Amino acid sequence: MNNMLWHIVDVRDVADALLLVYEKEESAGRYICAPDRVSTKDMLNILKSIRPDYNYVNWWISNHACVVRT
């Protein structure tokens, strides 16, 4: 399993950012909503602390085997 960095953002933050872009006339260009990044190992540790009985490693491998690093 690769210990890649994942850029994550809460969907509520994205929704708030979209509303601000639509409501402000001076908004133009592109905006990036990615306040946090987490490694694969840290993400699995967080998930295991929430549900320790779930086999995350097998789930991660089966669902992310085709992820291509750029």
Q: Would you say residue 59 lies in a domain?
A: yes
Return the percentage of the chain with pLDDT > 90, whole number. Answer: 3
Per-residue model confidence as pLDDT tens digits over 2-46: 777 777 888 898 899 889 888 988 887 777 787 778 888 888 888
pLDDT in tens, 35-68: 778 888 888 888 889 988 887 767 666 665 554 4
In a domain, 27, yes or no: yes
Residue at 13 is within a domain: yes
Residue 46 lies in a domain: yes
Evaluate whether residue 70 is within a structural domain: no
Within-domain flag for 45: yes
Containing structural domain, residue 10 = 5-64
Q: What's the total number of domains in the chain? A: 1
pLDDT of residue 68: 45
Please report the pLDDT score of residue 15 as a whole number: 92
Give one DSSP letter per residue of 2-69, joined into a string.
Answer: ---EEEE--HHHHHHHHHHHHH-TT--S------EEEEHHHHHHHHHHH-TTS-HHHHHHHHHTT---
In a domain, 44, yes or no: yes
